[in-house]
């Protein structure tokens, strides 16, 4: 049974991914206490104990929505550390094992705001565009070792955070702009991730796959 490292597996899309994969894979989804992505020492400690992963899914992330003049240095450091730097560090630690066995699958959860953007998304889009850039560069570097890397870019998704942050009117307005007229369900995103890390994917790598009901079409 292949071992999966999944970050951000406690809720939303991450929880759906964990539930989807748990029947066929050994899924390790550390809590924040076990793996604090803001703390280099925590990452180092966790990875010293857990290096032999066949699959890495970087799902954890934060979103800071602010106008330019309100963005602090702390905001910049925090979102870049969690969304951009920590995924690269985890990949770096796991790749030696993948090279040894000539097999690896890595999925980075980006966003539709990593392929286009809008006002107030400077911090978030900066990291999500960057994550796609890392994915593409590493796909070229690691392909010869049968290590496939892809980014998944969800659109509006029906998570707990979405439900708590939007009024019914706001949600109705947003759904009206989506061609399929609804938000994605977390398990729909999880199905795409499961395909990319599963046995059926033997050749797709270096892609940023948008799953948004046609919103960015």
**Residue of 124, 129, 156, 183 marked catalytic:** 124
Q: Are the C-beta atoms of 155 and 216 separated by less than 8 Å?
A: yes
The distance of Cα 104 from the centroid of its chain, to the nearest Å, equals 16
CA–CA separation, 153 vs 139, rounded Å? 17
CA–CA separation, 40 vs 161, rounded Å? 27
Residue 185 in tokens: 């369900």
Instruction: Count other C-beta atoms under 10 Å from residue 111's C-beta.
Output: 28
Q: Are the C-beta atoms of 130 and 151 separated by less than 8 Å?
A: no
Residue 25 in tokens: 């894979």
Q: Is 203 considered catalytic here?
A: no
Show the beta-strand stretches assigned E in 19-88: 26-28, 55-58
CA–CA separation, 151 vs 134, rounded Å? 9
- List, by residue number, the catalytic residues: 124
């Amino acid at each position: 049974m292949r071992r999966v490292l999944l970050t951000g597996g406690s809720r939303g899309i991450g929880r759906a991914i964990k539930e989807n994969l748990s029947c066929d894979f050994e899924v390790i989804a550390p809590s924040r206490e076990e793996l604090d992505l803001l703390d280099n020492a925590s990452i180092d400690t966790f990875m010293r104990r857990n290096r032999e992963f066949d699959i890495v899914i970087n799902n954890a992330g934060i979103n800071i929505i602010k106008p330019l003049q309100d963005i602090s240095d702390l905001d910049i450091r925090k979102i870049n550390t969690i969304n951009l730097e920590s995924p690269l560090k985890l990949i770096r630690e796991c790749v030696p094992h993948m090279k040894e066995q000539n097999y690896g699958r890595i999925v980075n959860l980006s966003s539709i705001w990593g392929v286009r953007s809008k006002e107030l998304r400077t911090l978030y889009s900066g990291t999500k565009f960057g994550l796609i850039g890392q994915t593409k560069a590493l796909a070229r570097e690691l392909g010869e070792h049968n290590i496939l890397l892809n980014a998944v870019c969800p659109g509006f998704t029906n998570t707990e955070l979405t439900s708590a942050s939007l009024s019914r009117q706001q949600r109705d307005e947003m759904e009206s702009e989506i061609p399929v007229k609804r938000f994605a369900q977390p398990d729909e995103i999880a199905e795409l991730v499961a395909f990319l890390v599963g046995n059926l994917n033997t050749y797709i790598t270096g892609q940023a796959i948008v799953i948004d009901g046609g919103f960015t079409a």
